[in-house]
Amino acid sequence: MKNALNRYVPEGYVPFESASAYKNKERKLIAPKKTSEGYETLGSISDMFDRLQIKDGMTLSFHHHLRNGDFVLNMVCEEIKRRGLKNMKLAPSSVFPGNAILAELIENENVTKLYTDYVNGPVADAICAGKLKELCEMHTHGGRPMAIESGALHIDVAVLGVPAVDKKGNGSGFSGQSACGSLGYAVSDLTYADKVVFVTDNIVDRIDNPQLDGKYVDYVLKVPAIGDPSGIVSGTTKITKDPVGLKIARNAAQLLDEIGLIKDGMSMQTGAGGTSLAVAYYVRNRMLEKGVKGSFASGGITGYFTDMLEEGLLDELYDVQCFDLKAVQSIGRNAAHHAMSGSKYANPFDDNVVDKLDFVILGATEIDLDFNVNVTTDSHGKIMGGSGGHSDTAHGAKVTVITTNLVKSRMPIIKEHVTTVTTPGEDVDVLVTERGIAINPRRTDLLEKLRNSRLPICTIEELLETAYGITGRPEKPAVTDVPVGVVVYRDGTVIDTIYKTK
Amino acid sequence: MPGNNPAMLQNSDVFDCDAVIYDLEDAVSVTEKDAARTLVAQFLSAMKKQPPMEIVVRINGLDTEYWEKDLEAVVSDKIDSIMLPKAQVRYLKQLDEALSEIERKKGMKKHVAVLPIIELAASVMEIDDIVKAPRVNGVLLGAEDLSSDLEVARTKKGNEILYPRMKLAYACAAYKIDSIDTPFTDTNDNEGLADDCAFAANLGFTSKAAIHPNQVPVINSVFVPTAKNIEWALRVEEATRINAEKGLGVFSLDGKMVDKPVMERARKILVKARKYNLIQEDKQ
């Protein structure tokens, strides 16, 4: 079966129609889990498996706020391996190279199904090599809570690493040796999983305004450490010094100004990459020059945005995940720095934040002539990431800007057709590269606003020819026709299929 | 751009500068000289589109064993200028002869220009003749080597190079060629760079060399006309046209007299503004 973008959809999945098709559907909500009468304490991970009767075929979920420093998913994987459990289904919101043990479990069929929003490293390699028995389902950050609340992704046990847990079972990420800030991606798991376990290394007397409500918690397990602080936040995130990245960022900020988006009350989101942060830097400079005050920034929050909040350039921050230490420190200190859930962030059926964004700055590993963007696989078809909030913010924001080098590692970033569609071109408005800026022809309003611009505006076809002039025409990626995963759009439909690599 | 760095060469045409200097001299170690020469030559020959900037190659000095091989490899219709380090009149003559011979041998249509670098005290004393030498269409001040020749410390303020700066700016203005100020070497100090650019521009320099692409926007912001100046020049241009129809060669604008020198200043601003596409024109 093919979907509206002419991409193959495996049997049993609903094909993608359009980015707005969800508007014709009703929100489906299963009943939240029954609230507990207090929690019980567990002695060890092994004790958790015994007491919760974790057995073959069950679905366990995790959040990824401890990022590459996470010990919790790894501890559970070790126990699955020790017990020789089979056909387990895991639903971590993201998977990092530090979770290499999961690749071993996949190879040995201890784990046969994976639901995640982002995966790179050895686990991605194992999936691409065809070792995962069932298709890997790659959600978006907004699609995952939608899948959980609707029952499409049923969780038997949510095993959630929590940096601080109080005596009532409330949880927070703001403090403790493993502080990571907002725990936004854990909220749906907490609310809808059959059983919830908090794994912590820090029990405190009381947490005021906890992000995770203790009433949903069944068990608390204290361990020496839930993560390695050096891997939890990437330290200080910095704007790029690469002159090509800076040129792209300058032009992106100039474009945002010319289309009238740098104005009082503006709202914005950027990623934490060096070029995205550089866009934030140049936007901030424009705001200062023009005396503009923005309403909010959202998404994964970095120190750049907390500085803007503290300088009075932004009224509020809506934070689903802290990207650096400065953001972690800010969220515990600034009342206007709000932690939000993944659902509040981007669930298409929630009153979400992404729909209120004026603009978002996103990256791309590939973009094609229809403006479809791939951030899931590389140009060899190998998984190296995933949507995260890419397609959620692209749909919600009034203007979606992709910033990328035209050529990376001798490969043109523009393709006639992307290897894998993560975000549909209908939601992508502008591509800014170092050799020109292409506007999606659907956005006649933007083209009109930029009619007299001195920015290097051209068509995406012209940019493709420029790229080919540098690199020549690359060969198509060597993948098989054996599906290993599906890219699940935020409304639960399948936007593309990922294939086993050769 | 160091001539032996492929990634830098690949992106050398994207930085909105007027010219890129591909370097075979100081940025390239002795063991890399041949690799850089080959890479720059291959890169230029593979260049399919006319780049948006002038192409300059800095060869090794004529007191080295490399310069003839450098010229042989890189001189072609693809380049605009050869940059000559430690320039002196005798070297410029020798370079002109060598270039003429290569142009003849290769059947080139283009007459390659020369950009001498003033980086010896002896060169400073010869500036008046250097600007008149064949093929010279601009001169670059190289203050690092110059201060080393003088055995004085380089400072951010640059008092030690005030004399050569002024001498070079005047000589170039007299012969209507580009005067290119010495690079500002602290790549992390954009404020210092902007101040240094403004100082050089006030001395009469027409441009400044960058040692890092991130310096280009700052340099451009100083050396291109400001929006306010462009607006003033456009008004002078319009008023000149209207008054010329009435037969008036001198008139008053905003209470100030506009005569030939003022009109000429406005004209020069607009030439530059149009060159850099700084005048908003409605595109239908």
Give residue limits of the domains in chain B. 6-223, 227-275
Tens digits of residue pLDDT in B171-227: 999 999 999 999 999 999 999 999 999 999 999 999 999 999 999 999 999 998 988
Looking only at the bridges linking them, the beta strands covering A136-138 and A111-116 are parallel
Instruction: Find chain B residues with C-beta within 8 A of A243's C-beta.
Output: 11, 15, 212-214, 216
Q: Which of B174, B173, B176, B152 is nearest to B162 (CA)?
A: B152
> Is A470 touching B (CB cutoff 8 A)?
yes
Tell the burial category of B253 from Cβ atoms under 10 Å away from its Cβ (0-12, 13-18, 19+): middle
Choice among A159-163, A230-234, A253-257, A444-448 with the minimum mean pLDDT: A230-234
Judged against a pLDDT cut of 90, whether residue B275 lies above it is answered with: no
Q: Does domain B6-223 have CATH number 3.20.20.60?
A: yes
The label of the residue with tokens 């190659």 reads B57
Of residues B11, B212, B280, nearest to A244 (C-beta): B11
Q: What is the pLDDT of residue A229?
A: 79
> Is A409 touching B (CB cutoff 8 A)?
no
Question: Mean per-residue pLDDT for A166-195?
Answer: 97
Choice among A259-263, A474-478, B33-37, B75-79 with the minimum mean pLDDT: A474-478
Angle between helices B190-203 and B162-174 (to 10 degrees): 50
Cβ atoms of A432 and A258 closer than 8 Å: no
Q: How many angstroms separate the CA of residue A413 from the nearest CA in chain B?
A: 15
Q: What is the pLDDT of residue B274?
A: 86
Residue B207: beta bridge partners? B180
Query: How sure is the predictor about A35, in pLDDT bands with cuts at 50, 70 and 90?
Result: confident
d(CA A170, CA A254): 45
Q: How many angstroms separate the CA of residue B45 from the nearest CA in chain A?
A: 13
Report the half-sphere exposure of B50 (CA within 13 A, side-chain side). 3
- Which residue is closest to A405 within chain B, CA to CA? B11
The label of the residue with tokens 């090599």 reads A129
> Is A206 touching B (CB cutoff 8 A)?
no
H helix runs in A323-409, sequence order: 325-331, 342-346, 390-396
Of residues A241, A435, A454, nearest to B14 (C-beta): A435
Instruction: Find chain A residues with C-beta within 8 A of B214's C-beta.
Output: 241, 243, 246
Q: How many angstroms separate the CA of residue B280 from the nearest CA in chain A?
A: 7
Q: How many CB atoms lie within 10 A of CB A449?
A: 16
Mark A182-205 as b/e (b = at least 16 C-beta within 10 Å): bbbbbbbbbbbbebbbbbbbbeee
Q: What is the pLDDT of residue B2?
A: 95
Compute the mean pLDDT over every residue in chain B, rounded to the nearest whole number: 94
Of residues A243, A407, A454, nearest to B213 (C-beta): A243
Q: Give me the percent of chain A exceeding a pLDDT of 90.
A: 91
Query: How sure is the predictor about B284, in pLDDT bands with cuts at 50, 70 and 90?
Result: low
Contacts 24+ apart (CB under 8 A), B206-210: B206/B172, B206/B178, B206/B179, B206/B180, B207/B18, B207/B138, B207/B178, B207/B179, B207/B180, B207/B181, B208/B180, B208/B181, B208/B182, B208/B183, B208/B184, B209/B21, B209/B140, B209/B180, B209/B181, B209/B182, B209/B183, B210/B17, B210/B183
Question: Mean per-residue pLDDT for A33-50?
Answer: 93
- Cβ within 8 Å, pair B283-A435: no
| Sheet containing A373-374, strands listed edge to edge, beginning at the edge strand earlier in sequence | A373-374, A366-368, A414-415
Q: How many angstroms separate the CA of residue A254 from the nearest CA in chain B?
A: 13
Q: Between chain A and chain B, how many beta carbons pairs sit less than 8 Å apart?
A: 32
Q: How many angstroms separate the CA of residue A299 from the nearest CA in chain B?
A: 29
> Is A469 touching B (CB cutoff 8 A)?
yes
Tens digits of residue pLDDT in B123-161: 999 999 999 999 999 999 999 999 999 999 999 999 999
A291: left (phi over 0), alpha (psi -120 to 50) or beta: left
d(CA B284, CA B279): 16
- Cβ within 8 Å, pair B11-A452: no
In order of their start, the domains of chain A are 35-232 (3.40.1080.10), 243-489 (3.40.1080.10)
- Cβ within 8 Å, pair A454-B213: no
Mark A41-71 as b/e (b = at least 16 C-beta within 10 Å): ebeebeebbebbebeeebbbbbbbbbbbbbb
d(CA B97, CA A185): 72
Tens digits of residue pLDDT in B73-100: 999 999 999 999 999 999 999 999 999 9
Q: Give me the percent of chain B exceeding a pLDDT of 90.
A: 88
Q: What is the pLDDT of residue A235?
A: 55
d(CA A105, CA A126): 10
Tell the burial category of B7 from Cβ atoms under 10 Å away from its Cβ (0-12, 13-18, 19+): exposed
> Is A450 touching B (CB cutoff 8 A)?
no
- Cβ within 8 Å, pair B14-A434: yes
> Is A21 touching B (CB cutoff 8 A)?
no
Q: How many angstroms separate the CA of residue B6 from the nearest CA in chain A?
A: 11
Q: Which of B116, B25, B20 is nearest to B70 (CA)?
A: B25
Q: What is the pLDDT of residue B283?
A: 62
Paired tokens of A447: 């083209």
Question: Any idea what DSSP says for residue A25?
Answer: S
Query: How sure is the predictor about A236, in pLDDT bands with cuts at 50, 70 and 90?
Result: low
